Amino acid sequence: MLALYRSCLCAAGHTVETAADGAEGLARFKEGGWDLVLTDRTMPKLNGDELAAAVKAIDPRMPIVMVSGSIEELPEAIGKRRAVDVFVHKPFTLDALTSAIAKARESAAR
């Protein structure tokens, strides 16, 4: 799925870097140069909630989009997981994902 997300986002004009797990994602984030973090909620080594919290601790204005396959957790998560700017439920379309990215960037710019 990671390769598919990357391919679709690159085709939509985004520059995309990927990580095999949350810990690698955080290490890459610390290298700098990012304008948005897109994460899955369920990942090995460091889950999406932990990654989002760590990213916001470093850069509170960094826009974060989280995708999740569990519909039960999303409505509740909006109020509780303040580190995440926009949630996207799987399965989703490329249009839904690019819309979520735009929304997260707008939120961060405020």
Instruction: Tell me the per-residue pLDDT of 7-53, one tens digit each, with 9 for 90 and over.
Output: 888 888 888 888 999 999 999 999 988 989 999 888 889 988 899 99
Report pLDDT for 80.
53
Residue 41, both tokens: 């909620």
User: Residue 78 and residue 87: Cα distance in Å, rounded?
Assistant: 8
Q: 10 Cβ partners below 8 Å, 6+ apart?
A: 16
CA 76 – CA 23 distance, rounded (Å): 25
Q: What is the pLDDT of residues 42-90, one digit of tens each?
A: 888 998 889 999 999 999 999 999 988 876 555 455 545 678 889 888 8
- Quote the CA–CA distance of 24 and 6 in Å, as a whole number: 16
pLDDT of 26 reads 96
**Beta-sheet strands, E only, within the chain:** 37-40, 64-68, 86-89
- Model pTM score: 0.85
